[in-house]
Amino acid sequence: MATQVTVKSRAAVKHDVSPLITRDSFTTSLGVIAATLGSAVGLGNIWKFPFLTGVNGGASFIIVYLISTLLVGLPIMIAEIMLGRQARADAVTSLSKLAPGKPWWLVGAAGVISAFLILAFYTEVAAWVFAYIFKAALGGLLSTNPEVTGQAFNQLITDPWQSLLWQWLVLALISAIIILGVSKGIEQTTKRLMPLLFLLLVAIGVRSLTLPGAMEGLVFLFQPDFSKVTAAALLTAMGLAFFKLSIGMGAMMTYGSYFRDDQNIPATATKVMLADLTVSILAGIAIFPAVFAFGFEPDAGPSLLFITIPAVFAAMPLGHFFMVLFFILAAIAATGAMLSLLEVPVAFLNERLGLSRVMATLSTVALLALVGSTAALSNSLLADFKLFGMTMFDLYDFATSNILLPVGGLCLSLFVGWAWGFAEVKAALTNNGTLPNERLVRAVFGIIKFVTPVLVLIVLLNGLKIL
Ligand code: PHE
């Protein structure tokens, strides 16, 4: 009898494709959306989108960004989530499982490196945001003079210890959540934080819109001037679309591997894309009307959030209160995004190399503290250390957004469109024929196969002045 049982279970093991120990994953549909949206919504919306829109002339940039999102961003996002769910593994293993013996896994490996490089500078911007919550609360940023708020910002970023310590604090926070796991850490955290983020954003948007003179900011945001659309602006807009949707580097693939089997991937990705876009536009509405109402310039660049915005808040009624809210909001956004970034190397080390989740997290964060310090010190000790004319901070940002993510996305769209093929895509995106979305899947596949790679290639080569 006992032998029989053993034989039986061995046979069962052989035919069972799922691993013996069930992988942690997102538990509810709402959890899937919260986590995925948590990844997309981040400093990309609150910091990058406003300053890039400001520098690149407002509405026309938003239109180019929108087109990139629809023709490049959304299709790749759907593809990545699909590949992850199909393979149910980290980014490297997923691609080697789906294309055994072929070099496609290298795209996953490049993704792990991209995640790392993004985290290196992202954790520093997050560090400034967390520091600003306290500075704002203590009244240290309450000046309507951008020179004074500029001094406060400079004091923070040129102080090596403050830069490092805040970054380490951020690293400690996200690693604690990641160690808790996919469902108990990532899902639970983002499910609580995302609604709060929307609430804060709407509150601040209403405050900004009800200021006298707010109209000018809206005109800037919504009235296009196409003379500002250059090749460099196109690349920036596309890079932003990649960055914003967390695609081209395996984050969406890793999260896809935690998606439920019955999750409608195209619908979920579209919802996330729309919600992410809404947050970006709302952030623009929270910022630009106020910027114009108080006579500031919209094109301050990366320091818009840290120098102009405090001065703007200081000038408005109830500004102190709203300033603190604003930086809490930015910190929440940054946290959800960093979780998805950190999950990429952690899942890789855990599943591919067999480290425990705790060890995987701790070793990633330790290495990150080291590499990240070169970004953290880019305004102090390493200010003069430049490669390709950029500080390490700028280099990580430029190399990931404008090169690594687009190239990763290009490879993924080529893989899905030309190597994996329509039959597999159809089965995966219709949930094996249970969803009535075949027409849509056909359209997505056509775009992924013919439109996305061509667009990415042209914009990439043009933007890098290779064409
Ligand atoms: N989408 C995030 C943001 O907007 C950044 C990010 C990029 C997260 C790549 C994961 C992967 O801030």
What is the full DSSP assignment across 290-329?
HHHHTT--S--GGGGTTTHHHHHHHHSTTHHHHHHHHHHH
Q: Name the β-bridge partners of 390.
A: 387
Beta carbons of 232 and 463 less than 8 angstroms apart:
yes
Find tokens 């705790």 and name the residue: 358
Question: What's residue 270's pLDDT?
Answer: 97
* Burial classification of residue 73, based on how many CB atoms lie within 10 Å of its CB (0-12 exposed, 13-18 middle, 19 or more buried): buried
Is residue 405 lining ligand 1, measured as CB closer than 6 Å? no
Residue 100 lies inside a defined structural domain of this protein: yes
Helix (H) or strand (E) holding 389: none
Structural domain includes residue 9:
no
Q: Determine whether the shortest distance from the Cβ of 118 to ligand 1 is under 6 A.
A: yes
CB of 87 sitting under 6 A from ligand 1? no
| CATH at residue 209 | 1.10.4160
Query: To which H or E segment does residue 195 belong?
Result: helix 188-209
The closest alpha carbon to 123, from 65, 73, 175, belongs to 175
Do 257 and 97 contact (CB within 8 A), yes or no? no
| Contacts of 113 by beta carbon, 8 Å cutoff, 6+ apart | 404
Instruction: Confirm whether 16 is domain-assigned.
Output: no
For residues 43 and 334, the answer to whether their CB atoms sit within 8 Å is yes
CB count in 10 Å sphere of residue 244? 26
The pLDDT score that the predictor gives to residue 7 is 41
Residues 6+ apart with CB under 8 A from 105: 92, 93, 95, 96, 99
Is residue 390 domain-resident? yes
Q: Please tell me if the CB atom of residue 149 comes closer than 6 angstroms to any atom of ligand 1.
A: no
Give CA–CA dist 352/95, Å, rounded. Answer: 12
Q: Which ligand 1 atom lies nearest to the CA of residue 47?
A: 12
Q: Which residues pair with 387 in a beta bridge?
A: 390
* 236 Cα distance to chain centroid: 15
DSSP 387: B
**Residue nearest ligand 1's atom 7 by CA:** 246
Whether 456 is in a domain gets the answer yes
Distance 278 CA to ligand 1 centre (A): 16
| Claim: this prediction has a pTM higher than 0.85 | yes
Range of the domain at 138: 24-463
Task: Collect all residues with Cβ–Cβ distance below 8 Å to 205 and sequence separation of at least 6.
Answer: 282, 285, 286
- The number of distinct structural domains making up the chain is 1
In ligand 1, which atom is closest to the CA atom of 42?
Answer: 12
CA-closest candidate to residue 163, choices 135, 114, 133, 123: 123
Report CA 231 to chain centroid distance, whole Å. Answer: 23
User: Running DSSP on this structure, what letter comes out for residue 417?
Assistant: I
Residue 13 lies in a domain: no
- Residue 411: the pLDDT is 97
Substitution candidate for ligand 1 out of 186, 340, 343, 346 with most atoms within 8 A of CB: 340
Q: How many residues does the chain have?
A: 467
Q: Sort 17 into a burial class: Cβ within 10 Å, 0-12 / 13-18 / 19+.
A: exposed
Write the residue with the smallest CA distance to atom 9 of ligand 1: 246
C-beta separation of 116 from 368 below 8 A: yes
Reference 179, options 371, 349, 38; nearest CA is 349
Task: State the pLDDT at residue 21.
Answer: 59
CA of residue 88 to ligand 1 center, whole Å: 21
243 lines ligand 1 (CB under 6 A): yes
Inside any domain, residue 18: no
Testing ligand 1's pocket by substitution, the residue of 39, 174, 272, 403 carrying the most ligand atoms inside 8 A of its CB is 39
How far is it, in rounded angstroms, from Cα 438 to Cα 321? Answer: 50
How buried is residue 459: exposed, middle or buried, by Cβ count under 10 Å (0-12/13-18/19+)?
buried
Ligand 1 pocket test, pick from 51, 178, 244 with the greatest ligand atom count within 8 Å of Cβ, gives: 244
* Residue 434 domain-assigned (yes or no): yes
Contact 282, 202 (CB under 8 A): yes
User: Is 449 in a helix, a strand, or coil?
Assistant: helix
Q: How many CB atoms lie within 10 A of CB 325?
A: 20
pLDDT (tens place) for every residue of the chain, 467 residues total: 344 444 444 444 444 444 455 789 999 999 999 999 999 999 999 999 999 998 898 999 999 999 999 999 999 999 999 999 999 999 999 999 999 999 999 999 999 999 999 999 999 999 999 999 999 999 989 998 888 999 999 999 999 999 999 999 999 999 999 999 999 999 999 999 999 999 999 988 888 888 888 899 999 898 888 888 888 889 899 999 999 999 999 999 999 999 999 999 999 999 999 999 999 999 999 899 888 888 888 888 888 899 988 988 898 888 999 999 999 999 999 999 999 999 999 999 999 999 999 999 999 999 999 999 999 999 999 999 999 999 999 999 999 998 999 999 999 999 999 999 899 999 999 999 999 999 999 999 999 999 999 999 998 888 787 76
